[in-house]
A and B are shown apart, each in its own frame.
Chain A
Amino acid sequence: MGTFIVRRILVAISVALTISIVSFMLLHLSGDLATSIAGPEATAEQVEQIRVDYGLDRPIVSQYLDWLGDALTFDFGRSYYYQSTVVDLIVDRMPVTLTLGGLALALAVGISIPLGVLAALKRDTWIDRLALLFAVVGQAMPSFWFGLTLIVVFAVTLQWLPAAGSDGWQHFVLPAIALGYYATPAMMRLTRTGMLEVLESDYIRTARAKGLRTGSVIFKHALRNAIIPVVALAAVELGFMLGGSVVIESVFSLNGLGQLAWDAISRNDYPVVQAVVLIIALFYIVLTLLADVANAALDPRIRTR
């Protein structure tokens, strides 16, 4: 188990480095940064000045190494737009995104796994069909539209919950539902398929042949095996919800990382873009790592591989 984790961490570090190189290169090769920072009305001298000031005239490799050296000490420079360091901005916005993503995931897991198990146990009954309908609707409905619908119903019409802002827990309920519902169908389907497959397996027959109680057969023997791929999916979904909640954050005016990234891109605030891309990539990497460890804990066959 120890060597397994060390191996996975080494892989994770190399992935992180690769991502930082690719994102750095993409940003720097996608156009002349000095020109876009200076704006359309700047003179050629001003652009040149900016180029020198920001060190954009140096070879790209040395620019990258400088940036990387700073990034390793958590120094991502200053934002071009806001009057603060990039780190302060991220630290400021992160809790909002983490809260939203965490709530949405908890909601998605809390609904999809019990529903998936139930659908598998009640296969081909109306309960199963209802669960599948719930999944299809969730997959077909764009999350921004569902978010807007929630606002119209619960914030505008019923006035139970606030429509926008990120001050108290009430502000997170509707966006968490919108984001969570988006992640539910895939996890529910995977749970259902996994359970159906596992329930047919020989070792479930063995468990029943031992006279174990139904609860023990289903939850101890079946769910434990059926849930292994769901754990990996949940990690990816959480990564997606942390990095890709841009839409939901703008629908509900939540000041999270997604919103920050969106603003930074539209303002050519490239130190911020760079840092957010790296942070989100790190989220993914850490989550995949955690999923691998969780999988290994659930499936002893993976540990020795």
Chain B
Amino acid sequence: MPLLEVNNLRVDLPVEAGTLHAVRGIDFHVERGEMLCLVGESGCGKSMTSLALMGLLPRKARLTADRLQFDGIDLTMLSERRRSDLRGARMSMIFQEPMTALNPAYTLGNQLCEGLIRHRGVSRQEARERAIYLLERVGISAAKDRLNQYPHQLSGGLRQRVMIAMALMCEPDLIIADEPTTALDVTIQAQILRLLRELQQEFGTAVIFITHDLGVVARIADRVAVMYAGEVIESAPTPALYANPAHPYTRGLLSCIPAPGKTPPGSRLQAIPGVVPSLVGHVEGCAFRNRCPQAQPTCERTPPLMSLSGDHRARCHYADRPVPAPRPPETIS
């Protein structure tokens, strides 16, 4: 049984113009100890998905799912109180913005320890020892002194390391990392990524890594799920996805990454023309067809999730068929 099973998860948000279908029936699963990457551009529903898994959706949001099971527990049936017993203990989260994710009024030690004390009932002293151990593991020097420091005394990279340590405090089975490196300098990004991967393998924690950067995925993920307009449009083990991207959107994303040695210096960067459709109201047919270089009349109908080889699935009428003559891709400078 997978650690996390998600079937037909939907998240609707009431907005002024009607109902925003932020997540439109997605399916995926996460095995124990594996790293799944959710990839997509902003507004594709990946953050809403992670908040839905954590039970941290905005109060007005409405969640439905055929199945939302974590280690055999039906998350949709849990009371808020039981849900909060899981949060931080068995599933924890690392957020995008390390500069604002820590409470400015309390020491790092206080914020690191409180979750462990709440969930495991350990003494402050035991919690501090665990915090020191984890701070050292995430590469923070003078860990003991850091416990008495405040968030504003740390750089963004250090704060994100603290957030990672915080997520590991109760040895959760699942960590959801929502664009944990986006707000950081490029040099720090690579360090944090490597750290996450190492820790994930060392502690055997499953990780859902959310990113908009397919370049990141290649380095760390076991499997990838590509999201577009509130749907998972392709999911596959990482090597398969890179070798045979089946959905035109995935191909578009991949061609946007400049490859050293392949992309000639000075050449124009690839881009996917057009914009993501509005998800307010009923969305009919393939959501990508207005940007798709190979769109056909068939695409007015909602495409099924096609099973390709093994664990490789794609939501496109032409996932397993030859591409009809494509339009030339547009470029931007």
Contact = CB atoms under 8 A, between A and B. Distances in A.
B150 A301 contact: yes
Contacts of A214: 84
B188 to A, nearest CB: 19
Given A211-B87, A211-B88, A216-B118, A206 B105 contact: no
A107 interface: no
Given A210-B118, A211-B115, A212-B114, A203 B103 contact: yes
Nearest to B104: A301
B56 interface: yes
A298 B84 CA distance: 28
B155 interface: no
Interface stretch (B94-102, B243-251, B263-271, B312-320): B94-102
Interface in A188-207: 201-203, 205-207
B100 A213 contact: no
B104 A225 contact: yes
B85 interface: yes
A211 B101 contact: no
B119 interface: yes
A213 to B, nearest CB: 7
A225 B151 CA distance: 14
Contact of B103 (A209, A211, A225, A304): A225
A299 interface: yes
Interface residues of A, number: 23
A201 B103 CA distance: 9
B89 interface: yes
Interface string B54-94: 10100000000000000000000000000011111100110
Contact of A202 (B54, B97, B114, B118): B97
B85 A211 contact: yes
A206 B101 contact: yes
A242 B118 CA distance: 44
A202 to B, nearest CB: 4
B208 to A, nearest CB: 14
Contacts of B84: 208, 211-214
Contact of B104 (A203, A205, A213): A203
Contacts of A212: 84, 88, 114-115, 118
Nearest to B100: A202
A301 B101 contact: no
Contact of A210 (B92, B97, B104): B92
B152 A300 contact: yes
Interface in A220-273: 220-221, 224-225
Interface of B: 54, 56, 84-89, 92-93, 95, 97, 100-106, 114-115, 118-119, 150, 152-153, 163, 166
8 tightest A-B contacts by CB?
A211-B88, A211-B87, A210-B88, A210-B115, A202-B100, A300-B150, A203-B103, A209-B93
20 contacts: A202-B100, A205-B95, A206-B103, A207-B103, A208-B56, A209-B56, A209-B87, A210-B118, A210-B166, A211-B115, A211-B119, A212-B84, A212-B88, A212-B115, A213-B84, A216-B114, A225-B105, A299-B104, A300-B152, A301-B104
